[in-house]
Each structure stands twice: as C-alpha cells, then as structure tokens.
Amino acid sequence: MELILVRHGSQQPDERGDGDPALSETGTREARQVADFLARAAVDAIYTSPLRRAVETAAPLARALALRPIVCDGVVEYHPDAIDHAALKHFKAENYAAAKAALANFGNQADLELFRIRVVDTVESIIADHPDECVAVFCHASVVNAWACSVLGLPSRPFINVAHGSVSRFLCRSANASFVASLNETQHLLPDA
C-alpha cells in the first residue's frame, strides 16, 4: 500500500492557548495546493488528526475526491499543548542553530519512544485496514518524524524539518516492511498561487 503523510498547513497564532489553532491564510492556500497535487494520486482513504489545522488541511482533498475523512487520535501531535508554534517559527528565523538545538532536546527519550510506539501502532492499523490502497494521513511534523524514524531504524528523535503542507510517501506492508519513497515533498507549494 502507499501511505502518504501530509503535514498540516501553516496555522494562525495560538491566541486561545489550547494548542489547536486554525489554518492561517497561507495554510488555507497550502491545503488547496495539497489537494490539487494529491487529486492525481488515486487516494482511496483519508485519515486526519483531530486537531483543527489537520482537519482543515484535509478538507479540500476530501471534497475533491468525495471521501469522508476518518478522524484518528493516534496521529495527533506530540504534546500539542507544549509547543508555541508562532514563537518557534520566529526563533528559527532569528537563530536557526539555537532553535535546532532546542528541538533536539525537546522531550525526554522515554516520552519520545512512547509517542513513536503510538504512531507506529496507529499507522500499522491503517496499513492493515488498507493493504492494497493509497491512504493520505493529515497529521503533524512529529508524526512524520516518528514514522520515518521507525521505517529507517533511527532513534526516536526529530531529524527532518517537515514543511507545512509537505507530502512524505511510504510503500508499506508493515513497520518492518516499509520503505521511504519520498520525504518532505514541497514542489506543489507555490507562493501566492
């Protein structure tokens, strides 16, 4: 089966402080571009994290393909309420090296391993339910990193800066029989398109 992990589009600042902001104007554009890009991929099923930014990113593709997204708690972000995304984006722009170092130390190894286990169990279930299909899962950078680390046999640490609206593809039979086809595809994301 082909598993397509899509990171949600850019989100608004989390003014409510609940870790669940809506998409920004840029994120809404990214969601449309993802839908246009994946409409040609013969997607059979769509899963989404319950967080608004993932649900809103999945919506244009779901409409285009007349599919009803399946909301899946197992692909929710790692500690979604612990990350101030707007501050992190500003911090990365001002001092990328310091931001990268801070992210490398984000979370303890035991928490990251439990998170990876949750993601792998969830994705394994999706693979089992769709053995010969193409499935798009709208999720978060931490989920993409956790699954990619599992497939590649890497320690449970973020290793790729997953772009908003990016697509990562895997050819799967199980976590032990999965291959990376691509990571962090962004060719479909055109500024102001």
Residue 190 included in any domain: no
Residue 151 included in any domain: yes
pLDDT tens profile 133-156: 999 999 999 999 999 999 999 988
pLDDT tens profile 80-133: 444 445 445 555 556 666 555 555 555 566 677 888 999 999 999 999 999 999
Domain count, the chain: 1
Domain that holds residue 80: 2-185
CATH number for the domain that contains residue 33: 3.40.50.1240
Q: Tell me, what's the pLDDT at 103?
A: 55
Query: What is the arithmetic mean of pLDDT over 18-23?
Result: 88
Give the pLDDT band of residue 162 (cuts 50, 70, 90): very high
**Mean pLDDT estimate for the chain:** 87
- Listed in sequence order, the residues at least 6 apart from 165 whose beta carbon sits closer than 8 Å to its beta carbon are 6, 7, 8, 9, 10, 27, 30, 31, 33, 34, 57, 186, 188, 189
**Residues 32, 62: contact at Cβ < 8 Å?**
no
